[in-house]
């Protein structure tokens, strides 16, 4: 089972939430969901959440230690897999998929014996479909795009790029089924100030287009742009396939 973790922000019940999840396991869900058919949680009330209900810097070391104890206990009792963590509204919730539950209480006793000062609840239920992983932890297409945007921006900053400076940003799209709406999509992109460059084709033979416009690649600017493009392309039978640009230093 692969270990590849991603961290991102989303809104849950109208409140900001920090979601950490094992993305590497996503390709194995169909193969393992019958082995680990039970979703379980340990929910901890934060003592000193910040004004947004998130984990404060002062409390972070203790919660990190609690998380480590839970994971060590999970390995000790061999009952399941840690798949994610959600921090929101003054709580941190750790999520696991279990093989069995007969020693769930032993797992809790061993891992939480040092944390009596915290208000902690726990439980489990059947989830053979892995709905919690797919619908709560796993990002939507737009959330995935924001994750990739911020990774790209972080990498550019390491190269001393001035993200506030406009430059040509190239985008790619691929048609979902056919090119029936190609002309209408090209017209819409051009009306929005984009220039279509080339027709492209991926390794599976699916056709698409590359196009560009002068924009700023700063975090919130590129987020707004790419999320708008996702909606526009989906309305015309196409899917967004990311962006790239050159490094521009001040």
Backbone angles phi, psi at 76, to 5 degrees: -60, -45
Q: CB–CB of 218/152 below 8 Å?
A: no
pTM value > 0.75: yes
Q: Where are the domains of the chain?
A: 5-137, 141-245
Q: CATH top-level class for 141-245?
A: alpha beta
Q: Which fold has domain 5-137?
A: Alpha-Beta Plaits (3.30.70)
Which residues make beta-bridge pairs with 210? 172, 198
Please tell me the least confidently modeled range out of 32-46, 53-67, 84-98, 172-186: 172-186
Model confidence over 23-68: pLDDT tens digits? 999 999 999 999 999 999 999 999 999 999 999 999 999 999 999 9
Domains 5-137 and 141-245 share a fold: yes
In angstroms, the Cα distances linking 101 to 38, 65, 184, 231 are: 8, 24, 55, 43
Please list, residue by residue across 193-222, b when 16 or more beta carbons sit within 10 angstroms of its beta carbon and e when fewer do.
ebebeeeeeeeeeeebbbbbbebbbbbebb
Per-residue pLDDT of 214-239, as tens digits, reads: 999 999 999 999 999 999 999 999 99
**CA–CA distance from 92 to each of 37, 39, 221 (Å)?**
23, 16, 30
């Amino acid at each position: 089972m692969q270990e590849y973790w991603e961290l991102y922000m989303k809104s849950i019940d109208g409140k900001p939430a920090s979601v950490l999840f094992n993305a590497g396991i996503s390709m194995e869900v169909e193969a393992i969901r019958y082995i680990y058919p039970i979703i379980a949680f340990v929910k901890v009330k934060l003592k000193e959440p910040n004004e947004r209900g998130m984990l404060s810097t002062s409390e972070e070391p203790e919660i990190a230690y609690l998380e480590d104890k839970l994971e060590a206990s999970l390995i000790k009792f061999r009952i399941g897999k840690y798949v994610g963590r959600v921090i929101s509204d003054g709580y941190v919730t750790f999520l696991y998929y279990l093989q069995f539950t007969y020693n769930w209480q032993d797992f809790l006793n061993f891992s939480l014996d040092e944390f009596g000062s915290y208000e902690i609840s726990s439980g489990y239920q059947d989830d053979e479909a892995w709905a919690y992983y797919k619908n709560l932890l796993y990002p939507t297409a737009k959330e995935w795009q924001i994750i990739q945007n911020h990774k790209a921006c972080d990498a550019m900053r390491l190269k001393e790029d001035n993200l506030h400076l406009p430059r040509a940003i190239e985008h790619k799209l691929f048609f979902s089924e056919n090119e029936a709406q190609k002309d209408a999509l090209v017209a819409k992109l051009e009306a929005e100030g984009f220039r279509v460059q080339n027709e492209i084709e991926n390794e599976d033979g699916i056709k698409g287009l590359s196009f560009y416009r002068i924009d700023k690649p700063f975090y919130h600017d590129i987020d707004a742009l790419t999320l708008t493009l996702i909606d526009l392309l989906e309305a015309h039978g196409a899917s967004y396939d990311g962006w790239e640009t050159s490094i521009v230093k001040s």
